[in-house]
Chain A
Amino acid sequence: MARPDKRDLLGACIWAGATLAAVAVSDSMLLRTILGVPMVLLISGHIVLRAIGVRTTSLSEHLAYSIGASLAVTVAGGFVLNAIGSLTSLGWAFWYLAVATAAMLRPAGNDAVASKPAWLGPLQIRPWQGAAVALAMLVATGAYALAIHDQAAERQFKYTEFWMLPPASSDPGQLVIGVRSAETQAQQYDLDITLDGKPFAVFRSLTIAPGDTWVRKIPVPILTTKQLAEARLYRPADNKLYRRVSALVPGT
């Protein structure tokens, strides 16, 4: 009796090992994606189908079942890794290596996975057909890039963000005031700050370009009682109150 062919399982083990190595030492997203995505969504399921001896009659069926089994392996991995507190990158890489190794070391049984070629069969592809498919992929990718560009260019609302944060416990006595512009052109602002209704600080003719942020830390006296700090942003161009914010300064 011929020994069952385990080359695919060996390949899966090597792939899982390479994924582990990439996760451990590489920051390359491309390399990790090339190794990691097939591991999560296909290879781990193929290993399981081989391990339990599921018979498939076509490549499409084998691919569909492999993806389903991969999802099951990954969900199971999530619970196992959660139980041992290892839901991390390395934890996942070790999980897939463990699954692949266990399938590889499993005693030989009825591992027969029939793979009758029934996907596209013996296709005779002509150059224009290959070129048309390549062009189609290029058009679809280009269209996606265009969609991203359109989204990035969309600015329905023009606005200026204005904020005031109360003193943080790590930095008592400091109010934080900020202005960020999302207007279409640079704007000039005047900024008044009051403390319990009394003038406290003034900033005149702040010019802020679109996309720029102006932030200041304003020291405030700490009294025994709480004080209300208020800030008003004026637009000198049309001489009107544009934004207003407030914060409580805690007492001692």
Chain B
Amino acid sequence: MTRVHSNADIAVIPVRSWLQSCLAVIGPDLRGSSADATPEPANPGWIATLCLVVAMGLLLIVAGHGAGRRGDAVAPLLFWSGVVLAVVPTSLRIAWPNVARSERLFVLILLAEALLYLKTVYSPTGFAHHDEFLHWASAEDLATGHRLFLSNPLLPIASAYPALEIVTTAIVKLTGLSIFAAASILLAVLKGTLMAALFLFYERITGSARIAALACLTYMGCSTFVVFESGFSYESLGFVLCMLILAVEAASKDLVGREKSAALGLIALLLASLAVTHHLTAAFVAIYLGMLAALEALRRDVSLRLEARIAMGLTAVLAITLPLLWVMASGSSFTGYVGPVIETGFKTLMGKIFGTGIPPSEHLGAPSQPLGMRLTTLLAILLLSLGLATGFFRSLAMTAPPYLHAGWLPIHGILKRRWRDSRVVLLTVLACGFPISIAFRLTVNGWQIGNRMGTFVFIGVGLVVAVGIIHFWQGRASRGWRLIGPCAALAVIVLGGVTAASLEPIRGPYKVASDSQSIEHMGIETARWTKEWLGPGNRFTGDRVNRLLLAGYGRQDVRTKISEGIFAARAFRHDKLGSDELYALARSDLDYLVVDLRLTTAPPVLGFYFEPWESEQGTRLTAAELLKFNDVKGVTRTYDNGYLIIYNVRGLHGAP
């Protein structure tokens, strides 16, 4: 018996020591110092140098786009050198210890604006991304029609959320600038404000400018930061309002009396604005504030005054009721818009996990990126995962009561509902959404859910990774690799945000059905021709990219459907126009069809020509399918430039 016991002990010892090593890595001990040793002022020498370095980086980025347009092989080298030059020195300075608070904030805003610049010079004189065209059309309608809630067939729900268009047209009307110029100014201001709000929020809940700066830097690694949240789209404005609400709420936690009421007033104003700005962001804020109030109610360390608890409850009630009231008042079908996307995404993910039915579109595969970009994204995900693993329990320990500081006691305390700040607990739990968002991003149908989730999940990821770096990776005496390694890792995370942001960040020649890479001079000129010679407001349909150009540059009334329940793709598929399609066209109120023969030259980059849900994905369009309208009685060929043809279908309804 004795012999057996000692053998078991010998076997258990390495396992135990391995387990202890693991627990020491992820464990909740707080080793580092989050305080900034260097007081104000900032170092102007560093600021000036970084401004110059970033500007040189931007010049290289522009040169890279220029080379890409000309098809030069040197384009990636120029572009990525510029990105590295803009991102790495600034990231290192932001993450470095002993940097003044104001300098960190300044360099953060400088980096955020540089990344916005990177997105803007892709198309420096006009919008280039899909959603931007949808909101451009709405803004033009508001600017010319002087009325809100005009319908937008390309994005019906947008008419119920007109805040972005209101702010843009206010600038347009007061200044006389074009919508693109006004939008560019607005987006630059929003980007700076987002950084400031994020920084203030993190600083308020952690009490450390350094953790706040690291968290903001980590946030820039989110795949939506560089392009999606920088576009002329309602979520760009919505997310800034969201972060401002969170920042004001966190800042008001210790206020009392009149100051508390004033902060509540500001939060109410921002919540009301958010309710009419963006549905998903408003839903996130409602969930966040609702859960915050619930956590406060659960908390056993009742250090919070009754007044503060009432204020928190009131804020949650406002955050939940205002968007609901707006949905009811505007009659927008939020669930009808979001529901199918979530349902398909979940079905696909579950199908992949359990090997059950997967939608056919999932078998088409995702569009691919160059190897270097994919490796950078993967490395960034790996580094983020390491940061999360080492920061999760430490982040929770940070908010445990001070008397629970030894070993795993802080976590026991949290499990027994003893914590000091519910915001930290909530954000730490929110960070758990990161692996889920990555899982969704690995599927074609769930990609959109993973991408949108990232915007919100990264608020928590930023905090947890920053805490991991300060309290584990750098520790008390950060020097050597402990100093440089985490700073370099953060630079890689930001670079990962750039590589994950878009399929092809470098401007290049025309590609078939690739959204921004399909938008070029000839398509724009054709859309402008329609406005000049046919006049605005004609009812058009066509492929996804030309619809955008016609709505934006052509000011046409663009439709995705021929008639109720029949999407445009059906009319363009097959060599002969079927009797059902002909009947639908004849019964419709469409005036023109636009046909782009370039679509037949290569498979669609995004996998579809007309809609993401089109039934014949994976089947290439042929010239015979697109040119079949030549032989349809009642259809005439109004315009032809050799690539793009516009067919007049009024003859089908008896008009010329």
Which A residues lie at the B interface, using CB under 8 A? 19, 23, 27, 29, 32-33, 35-37, 39-41, 48-49, 52-55, 57, 60-61, 63-65, 67-69, 71-72, 74-79, 82, 85, 87-89, 91-93, 110, 118-126, 128-130, 132-133, 135-137, 139-140, 142-144, 146-148, 150-157, 159-167, 176, 178, 180, 182, 226, 228, 242-250
13 contacts between A and B (CB under 8 A): A61-B200, A87-B146, A89-B173, A118-B101, A123-B44, A132-B52, A136-B51, A140-B54, A146-B62, A151-B123, A226-B656, A242-B642, A247-B638
Q: How far is the CA of A103 from the CA of B379 in the complex (A)?
A: 53
Contacts of B265 in A (CB 8 A): 52, 54
Q: Confirm or deny: B162 has a beta carbon within 8 angstroms of a beta carbon on chain A.
A: yes
Say which residue of B142, B277, B510, B641 sits within 8 Å of A75 (CB atoms): B277
Which residue, B171, B272, B529, B634, has most C-beta atoms of chain A within 10 A? B171
Contacts of A35 in B (CB 8 A): 174
Whether A161 lies near B641 (C-beta < 8 A) is yes
Q: How far is the CB of B78 from chain A (nearest CB, A)?
A: 12
Whether B40 lies near A55 (C-beta < 8 A) is no
Contacts A154-B520, A182-B522 known; list 11 others, CB within 8 Å: A40-B174, A41-B171, A61-B247, A78-B170, A87-B146, A146-B62, A146-B66, A162-B639, A166-B656, A244-B637, A245-B640
Whether A123 lies near B41 (C-beta < 8 A) is yes
Whether B638 lies near A87 (C-beta < 8 A) is no
Q: Which stretch in B254-262, B367-375, B389-397, B494-502 binds the other chain?
A: B254-262
Whether A147 lies near B171 (C-beta < 8 A) is no
Q: A37-B185, A75-B163 are in contact. Are A140 and B55 (CB under 8 A)?
A: yes
Q: How far is the CA of A33 from the CA of B277 in the complex (A)?
A: 24
Whether A120 lies near B522 (C-beta < 8 A) is no
Interface residues of B in 177-223 (CB under 8 A from A): 177, 185-186, 189, 193, 196-197, 199-200
Contacts of B170 in A (CB 8 A): 40, 74, 77-78, 92
The 7 closest A-B pairs by CB, nearest first: A78-B166, A36-B174, A121-B41, A129-B48, A136-B55, A136-B51, A132-B48
Whether A65 lies near B248 (C-beta < 8 A) is yes
Whether B42 lies near A248 (C-beta < 8 A) is no
Whether B241 lies near A144 (C-beta < 8 A) is no
Contacts of B643 in A (CB 8 A): 157, 159
Contacts of A49 in B (CB 8 A): 266
Closest to A96 in B: B174
Contact with A along B37-51 (1 / 0, CB 8 A): 000111011011101
Whether A156 lies near B171 (C-beta < 8 A) is no
Whether A135 lies near B163 (C-beta < 8 A) is no
Contacts of B174 in A (CB 8 A): 19, 23, 32, 35-37, 39-40, 89, 92-93
Q: Confirm or deny: B509 has a beta carbon within 8 angstroms of a beta carbon on chain A.
A: yes
By secondary structure, the A interface counts as helix
Q: How far is the CA of A124 from the CA of B44 in the complex (A)?
A: 7
Contacts of B638 in A (CB 8 A): 163-165, 245-247
Which B residues lie at the A interface, using CB under 8 A? 40-42, 44-45, 47-49, 51-52, 54-56, 58-59, 61-63, 65-66, 69-70, 100-103, 105-106, 117, 121, 123-125, 142, 146-148, 162-163, 166-167, 169-171, 173-177, 185-186, 189, 193, 196-197, 199-200, 237, 240-241, 244, 247-248, 251, 255, 258-259, 262-263, 265-266, 269-270, 272-273, 276-277, 509-510, 520-522, 525-526, 529, 533-534, 634, 636-643, 646, 648, 651, 656
Contacts of B276 in A (CB 8 A): 75, 79
Whether B166 lies near A75 (C-beta < 8 A) is yes
Say which residue of A29, A122, A163 sits within 8 Å of B175 (CB atoms): A29
Contacts of A119 in B (CB 8 A): 102
Contacts of A244 in B (CB 8 A): 637, 640
Q: How far is the CA of A125 from the CA of B276 in the complex (A)?
A: 44
Q: How far is the CA of A186 from the CA of B177 in the complex (A)?
A: 36
Whether A118 lies near B102 (C-beta < 8 A) is yes
Q: How far is the CA of A144 from the CA of B169 in the complex (A)?
A: 24
Q: How far is the CA of A129 from the CA of B41 in the complex (A)?
A: 15
Q: How far is the CA of A250 from the CA of B654 in the complex (A)?
A: 10
Q: How far is the CB of A168 from chain B (nearest CB, A)?
A: 9
Q: How far is the CA of A86 from the CA of B602 in the complex (A)?
A: 49
Contacts of B62 in A (CB 8 A): 143-144, 146-147, 150
Contacts of A249 in B (CB 8 A): 656
Closest to B69 in A: A154
Q: How far is the CB of A35 from chain B (nearest CB, A)?
A: 8
Q: How far is the CA of A19 from the CA of B656 in the complex (A)?
A: 49
Whether A247 lies near B648 (C-beta < 8 A) is yes
Whether B177 lies near A33 (C-beta < 8 A) is yes
Q: A40-B170, A55-B262, A136-B52 are in contact. Are A129 and B100 (CB under 8 A)?
A: no
Say which residue of B69, B166, B177, B240 sits within 8 Å of A150 (CB atoms): B69
Q: How far is the CA of A226 from the CA of B652 in the complex (A)?
A: 13
Whether A144 lies near B45 (C-beta < 8 A) is no
Contacts of A182 in B (CB 8 A): 522, 525, 641
Q: A65-B248, A75-B166, A144-B124 are in contact. Are A55 and B642 (CB under 8 A)?
A: no
Say which residue of B63, B244, B526 sits within 8 Å of A68 (CB atoms): B244
Closest to B265 in A: A52
Say which residue of A27, A68, A120 sits within 8 Å of B241 (CB atoms): A68
Q: How far is the CA of A74 from the CA of B276 in the complex (A)?
A: 12
Say which residue of B56, B148, B196, B263 sits within 8 Å of A60 (CB atoms): B196
Q: How far is the CA of A161 from the CA of B534 in the complex (A)?
A: 14
Q: A140-B55, A143-B59, A246-B636 are in contact. Are A68 and B147 (CB under 8 A)?
A: no
Q: A55-B259, A75-B167, A157-B522 are in contact. Are A129 and B47 (CB under 8 A)?
A: yes
Q: How far is the CB of A180 from chain B (nearest CB, A)?
A: 8
